Amino acid sequence: MSIDANRVWQRIRNHAGHEFRQIRGKVFTYRVPSPRTIRLDTTNRMISRTAIEKALERVPLRATTVVRDLSAPSYIYAILMDERIRRSDW
């Protein structure tokens, strides 16, 4: 499966400020302050575009453990598995 990382990144940018939900129900939002960074609003963590691209190589994600080697795996999971981001791509 070949996924267009640029298209997915644009979806992520377009949904900045919207509410997302982690597996255990915690709600969060994020900002995209630079072309390669997601800043999480409920924690002092950031996710790089590189981490998102690495996670895209593993979608669909069955659990957060699939991306545990990346920064903020539960947030990456929540973002990438959200219907607004994945659409019908995976």
Distances (CA, A) of 40 to 26, 27, 89: 13, 11, 24
Beta bridge partners of 47: 38
* Residue 67: count of CB within 10 angstroms of its CB: 22
pTM to 2 decimal places = 0.95
d(CA 38, CA 31): 6
Tokens at residue 59, please?
């979608």
Give residues with Cβ within 8 angstroms of 82, minimum separation 6: 15, 20
The pLDDT assigned to 1 comes to 61
Per-residue pLDDT of the chain (90 residues; tens, 9 = 90+): 689 999 999 999 999 999 999 999 999 999 999 999 999 999 999 999 999 999 999 999 999 999 999 999 999 999 999 999 999 999
